[in-house]
Amino acid sequence: MRIFDPHIHMTSRTTDDYERMAAAGVRALVEPAFWLGQPRTSVGSFVDYFDSLIGWEPFRASQFGIRHHCTIALNPKEANDPRCREVLDVLPRYLLKDGVVAVGEIGYDSMTPAEDEVFAHQLALAAQHDLPALVHTPHRDKARGTLRTLDVVKESGIDPGRVVVDHLNEVTVGDVAGSGCWMGFSIYPETKMSPERMVAILAEYGPARMLVNSAADWGRSDPLLTLRTAEAMLDAGLSLDDVDRVLWRNPVEFYGQSGRLDLVGVDADEVQVGQTFEGNSILRGGS
Ligand SMILES: [Zn+2]
């Protein structure tokens, strides 16, 4: 089984996680730029973070045979901090880089006027750079936030087939399905969305335009929930071809629209579970 995790925050994960993901069949991933928990007070903190998303993390992933890509943006939460507004000025230079396959995460956190402005600005940047967009939906007031998100996407004029609206659930999936946007689901250990609930949604809506991710980050999360969802799909009688479509071909199709996915040499079927990477220097930490 080959897995492409289309939304995972490896910056917050350990090297052991990379090792477990590789053993579970994860061969490629996309790491969206997001809120790191600690508020950033200057544009320099973002520049260093973006540089690590196109430099250090791809290197770390490569030690385990995993192809790393990223999305770049000013996240919705920090869009509200005037000290971070200058980040918008540095985005265009990152949106030209090879490993950057979308603008994201953008969208709403608390649905403030500042978030409106920054969201619309970044959708325009995505269109100008001919890149897809990864849109986060708020964890509070999700139904209203999702409808407002779809309105803003529509007003922007961007092709909905180049937008994924993420962190959906049973309440919000129908509206996004009808919009033509891609549907993203973050599978969590306890809350929000489980592998079994995801299978029920797939059974109802089918596999088209569906993306399943672990969204693993610095909170309680599990980078192997993509594999657990694949297993739940098979247990429920869905086919291996469905699994491959949702967990590999769909993310390849969506992010492939950037023209920058680099999967050459990621021969998913030939990588064996538990293999070692002889000849590569496994990371030994910062010492
Ligand atoms: Zn995220």
What are the pLDDT digits (tens) for 92-125? 999 999 999 999 999 999 999 999 999 999 999 9
**7-16, 107-116, 182-191, 268-277, range with the lowest pLDDT:** 268-277
- Please give the distance, rounded to the nearest whole angstrom, from the Cα atom of residue 266 to the centre of ligand 1: 24
Residue 170 identity: E
- Please give the distance, rounded to the nearest whole angstrom, from the Cα atom of residue 214 to the centre of ligand 1: 9
- Please give the distance, rounded to the nearest whole angstrom, from the Cα atom of residue 287 to the centre of ligand 1: 29
- Please give the distance, rounded to the nearest whole angstrom, from the Cα atom of residue 225 to the centre of ligand 1: 15
Q: What is the pTM of this model?
A: 0.92
- Please give the distance, rounded to the nearest whole angstrom, from the Cα atom of residue 215 to the centre of ligand 1: 5
What are the pLDDT digits (tens) for 229-283? 999 999 999 999 999 999 999 999 999 999 999 999 886 554 443 333 333 333 4
- Please give the distance, rounded to the nearest whole angstrom, from the Cα atom of residue 160 to the centre of ligand 1: 20
Q: Report the pLDDT value the prediction gives residue 278, as an integer from 0 to 100.
A: 37
- Please give the distance, rounded to the nearest whole angstrom, from the Cα atom of residue 9 to the centre of ligand 1: 7
What are the pLDDT digits (tens) for 25-75? 999 999 999 999 999 999 999 999 999 999 999 999 999 999 999 999 999
- Please give the distance, rounded to the nearest whole angstrom, from the Cα atom of residue 105 to the centre of ligand 1: 7
Which residues fall inside 5 Å of ion ligand 1, going by CB? 34
The separation between CA 24 and the C-alpha centre of its own chain, rounded to angstroms, equals: 18
- Please give the distance, rounded to the nearest whole angstrom, from the Cα atom of residue 278 to the centre of ligand 1: 32
- Please give the distance, rounded to the nearest whole angstrom, from the Cα atom of residue 279 to the centre of ligand 1: 33
- Please give the distance, rounded to the nearest whole angstrom, from the Cα atom of residue 165 to the centre of ligand 1: 12
